[in-house]
Amino acid sequence: MAGGKLKVGVLISGRGTNLQALIDACADPGFPAVIELVVSNKADAFGLKRAADAGIPTAVIDHKAYRSRAAFDAAVDETLRAAGVGFVCLAGFMRILSGDFVERWRDRLINIHPSLLPAFKGLDTHQRAIDAGVTITGCTVHFVRPAMDDGPIIVQAAVPVLPGDDADRLAARILESEHAIYPLALRLIAEGRVRMTGEKTVRRDGVPSAGALINPSPD
């Protein structure tokens, strides 16, 4: 940390709406983290403009310019470390990181996924939730492990599946919850309120919600 704040790098590939949620949170002087660098593997990612508009340094590392995933990951790792980054957030980063990269950043690398993990790992989560007939889905912030969409869970939000939902409508409602829980997870970590016990997280001074979301309502 520098000045008492956790120095964060954010990896993106696209629109950067979760990046924007993190930027907005970090704009609060009392927030315990600061974004030092935003890295994209795509030069046309709109998230780069979001970062530039906020005065955050950016870097483009085109994965197509590297002969192997390991070489690309090494370039990303070097760029993050050169910027003084001590913690990494994946925000719509559409590349599978190598096991070596994940282990180098173990417990300092988090991701947000649009389902209640461990359900619906991978892609097309919203349509798969609808097709499965679930009435509640949501989103999860978790520490990253080498397996896809795997790792200790930090924060989750439950979102009801409503009658007539299609994948786009459901995705839009879940995205609102993503924007709420990603900054929350980063805050909990930066304040030292999340620690690891084996492969589970323990939240210190947390206040778990005791209310149940029931869908459909029994009323």
Catalytic residue among 63, 113, 126, 179: 113
Dihedral sign for Cα 171, 177, 182, 183, please. positive
In the residue annotation, 179 being an active-site residue is answered as: no
Q: Which residues are catalytically annotated?
A: 113
